[in-house]
Structure formats: structure tokens, C-alpha cells
Structure 1
């Protein structure tokens, strides 16, 4: 469809604006200036983002643009941009497109020759990584894991031997189940840092082994409240894993079982081989029963 443009005017700019993940003081002066200047704001939730604009003393026309309507709403966004209007894309919190809607709009805007300008700022995954104390030279961001246990465990199995630091987002009503699956699949000894309510009043970090963090969260009365970022140390380097695979694991388990309790044996062999503590515990039980 051919769009009508005003004589002498060009298309507007699509600004991708990062907004606070909790603390409103984290909105950059540049982001505030852009939000003040654009003609329209496209937001994931217009009610939620409306409160941010109200806080800034702004009143702007808004377009609701979320994961369920992004493809349908793009025609309207493109029409406004081609008419010469600048538009800001924001999500409920943080940087748009990072596990949030927007990539369809950005891709199609670029294809149409529209200028896309990022306005950087808060991002939950970067915020968590910066304070986790785990390696950040390489990391793999996997967004939200599948909601159902079968899919979640399959996704974790695929990442089990990934050496890069792993980062996930999780919701409060699934966090305990997700940590339990992390323990089951990656092993209870895998180092983990959990960030809750980042930049907000009750910001909390839990750190230690996956098993210990799960136990701490289960006893914390606030442990299932707020939004979470899960940061997990990557798998041990392949050299150690290969060395471990050369060991006769059953023989090692048997020797240690003669002197130590099953749980302790599983922990030691997991550390030596890089194997799953839970799987080694079950195998040790079988050998002990024999």
C-alpha cells in the first residue's frame, strides 16, 4: 500500500527506549528527553507505562503493542512513522526486545527504511550479572524457561554442559519449581546467584550452591514474591569432564561407600567427575543395596 507523506517531510524515527526495572531514578535524562519529544509511545501495557509518563508529567497518545498483537499493530506503527511522526517503543520494564516484544516492529521498520535509534538504559539481565560475581566473559541468556516441568527439564538438559554462565528470568509462582529442576538436572552443587526485586526497595541476592539457594528460598517468607533473575555458573571445562569420564565411576563409588555415607560419596564423586550429584546419589544407593 502506498503511503501519503507531507511534501518535504521524511519518515519519523523509531526510538527503542529502556525504562527502569524498579527504581524510577534509573531513567536516563536522554530517555526522558526522547519520551518528551516523541509524538506517540508504543507500550507493552499502556496502563503500566501510563503511570511512568504521569510520573514524568507527560501526556502522550499511546499504542498497546504486546506479544499477542505485535504483528497486527505494526501496520499502524509504520503508518505513523511514514507520516513523519517520531515514536518511542517501551516495555513494562527494562530494555525492549530483551525477552519482551518488539523485534517484529524493529525488523519491519528497518526493512521500510525507517531510522531505528536505541536509547540504552536498565536491563535486568545485565544488572544481575554485574552483581553476581560469576564469570561474565561469556554468558548465555535463555529468557524464561518453559512453564511446564517436562519442557523446562528438557531445556535444562540441553544446557547442562554449556560452559558459559547461564541467565534466566523467572516469575514468582514458578521460581521454586524452577530451582528444584535446576538441582535435579544441573546438580545441587552447581553455583547459583538469584536476584530478586532488583533496584527496588526489597532487592535481595541469594547465592551459593543451587541446593542451598533452593533451601534458603523455601524458608524465606518473601522468597516467592517479586521478579527473579537466575544466574548459574557454566559447566566445568571439557578437559575435566573428559578426565572424569575415564574414571570407573562405579568402582569409585564402591570404594567410598565402604567408608562414607551415601550423600557424602555422591558429593565427592560429583566434584571429581563433574557428574550430577542426584544421579550419582541414586547410583550409590543401588550399589549399596547390592
Structure 2
């Protein structure tokens, strides 16, 4: 009977050309040693692999796409080689696999199969934003994407503000980069003047922007231009 392989959760960069600054050597070493990858996007994954492990011959690698639309059967099939003894690496579009990411389903199924799951160290936009925000890092919740429709989004923001104040719990959420400006405008129009808001955009990039202030302070100073910049938003008491 074959010894099962290991599923490695491999972090990627948040910003282009930052691998040397944000990824430890173990990441490149592991990428160089693997020949089977489960990826969210094949094109992005190939580019990342070549950037950190240039000795890899991309044409000789096996890449299987597992994204938010993958079925349970596809996830199970993707892990079959690992159960049979082959190590695999999970690669997300950005940051850490499994955090706001379909890689979580691979890890879930791997545990059910009794496979070893190993997370490697790398940048997480959520943790970096929380670290820099000055908000409560003892109690926090991540809510992913808020509703697109404005009335539902405004209602969700009011509910998150209520939770932040009543539970003294930091509330984190994200938005598609091209809708960030509308979300920020809604935040400044909806929340109470004394509520604290942190915006953490383009983390680890040369254009990184992190600011925490009350809503009153934000309104006084004005909103930054966030269009098409990846950002994390945090609400705190």
C-alpha cells in the first residue's frame, strides 16, 4: 500500500515583483520540488511557479484547476493522486490558500481522506490589514464580500457596525477592486461619525495605503482613490 502524499498550501504574492520581500525561501524550495499543483487559475499559477522556481519546466508539470465552481467530484478526483502517494501544492490567485479562497475545500477534503495538510508561511491581506489597523486583534470576524445591491449593502454595513460596537469586535470585509470606490462612499455615508474605519489597500506594494480614522475624520479629510486597487475594509468601535 502506497504512503499518501502531502498537500502543501503555498502562499503567493499580493503585489507583483514582491516575492523576494514577502516569501520565505522554503516556499520557492517547495515549489521547485513539486510536479503536481492544484490551482485557482492556471495562467497565474504558471507565471508564479516560473518566477519563484525558474528551474521548473512548466510543460512537464501537471496543473489541475480547482476554483469556486468546482464540484465535490472534481475536488475528490484532484486529490486522488495525493491519496496515491504524490505530493501536491495548492496555489491561489493571491495570498494564502484557504483564506477567503476555494483552496479551503481541498484542505477540507484532504482531512477527510486522512491526508497530511501543510500550510506554508506567506502574506495574508486580512492579517496584514488587521495588524496595521490598530483595531481589536483579540476578537474579529471576516465576512467576505458584501451584497452588490446598494440597499442590501447599506443594511449589511449597519449590521456590521452594530456588531463592532456591541461586541467590541473588528469586522473585516472585501470587495472586487473595481467596486471599492462605491463601497467606500457607502461606508462614509452610512456609518456613525464615531465609528472607526480602516482601509488597507495594495498591501505589500510600493503604493501600499493603510489609514484608520473615525468616520468623522474620514469625511473631513476626504476619501482616497481606490478604483481597481485590492483593499481590505475594517470597522471597529
The bucket for the TM-score relative to the shorter chain is 0.7 to 0.9
- 2:29 paired residue number: 33
Q: 1:171 to 1:206 in 2, by over 3 A?
A: farther
CA 1:165/1:230 → structure 2, altered by over 3 Å: closer, same or farther? same
Is the Cα–Cα contact under 8 Å of residues 39 and 63 in structure 2 kept in the other structure? Answer: yes
Do structure 1's residue 201 and structure 2's residue 206 form an aligned pair? Answer: yes
RMSD: 2.1
Taking the aligned partners of 1:45 and 1:173, their CA distance within structure 2 comes to 20
Higher relative contact order (CA 8 A, sep 6+): 2
Q: Label 1:133 to 1:189 Cα distance change in 2 as closer, same or farther (>3 A).
A: same
Partner of 1:24: 19
Q: Is 1:217–1:223's contact at 8 Å kept on the other side of the alignment?
A: no
Structure 1 CA distance for aligned equivalents of residues 145 and 217 of structure 2:
22
State which structure, 1 or 2, has the greater radius of gyration over its C-alpha atoms: 1
Q: In structure 1, what is the equivalent of residue 177 of structure 2?
A: 172
Residues 1:97 and 1:230: Cα distance change in structure 2 (over 3 Å): same
Would you identify which runs of 4 or more consecutive aligned residues in structure 1 move more than 4 Å? Answer: 214-218
Q: What CA distance in whole angstroms lies between the structure 2 residues aligned with 1:88 and 1:216?
A: 45
Assess if the C-alpha contact under 8 Å between 2:179 and 2:228 holds in 1.
no
Q: Deviations over 1:25-68 (max 9, x none)?
A: 21221122221222311111111121111112123321111101
Match of residue 14, structure 1, among 7, 14, 18 = 7
The runs of 5 or more residues in structure 1 that have no matched partner are: 1-7, 235-290
Question: Is 2:133–2:198's contact at 8 Å kept on the other side of the alignment?
Answer: yes
**Which residue of the partner structure matches residue 74 of structure 2?**
73
**Cα distance in structure 2, aligned partners of 1:176 and 1:215:** 17
TM-score normalised by L of structure 2: 0.85
- TM-score w.r.t. length of structure 1: 0.71
Partner Cα separation in structure 2 for residue 31 and residue 217 of structure 1: 40
CA shift, 1:209, in A, is: 2.4
Where 2:122 maps in the other structure, the secondary structure is coil
Shift of 1:92: 0.8
Aligned to 2:138: 137
- Given that residues 23 and 121 in structure 2 are in contact (C-alpha distance below 8 angstroms), is that contact kept between their aligned partners in structure 1? no
Q: Residue 119 of structure 2 corresponds to which residue in structure 1?
A: 118
* Equivalent-residue separation in structure 1 for 2:78 and 2:221 (angstroms): 46
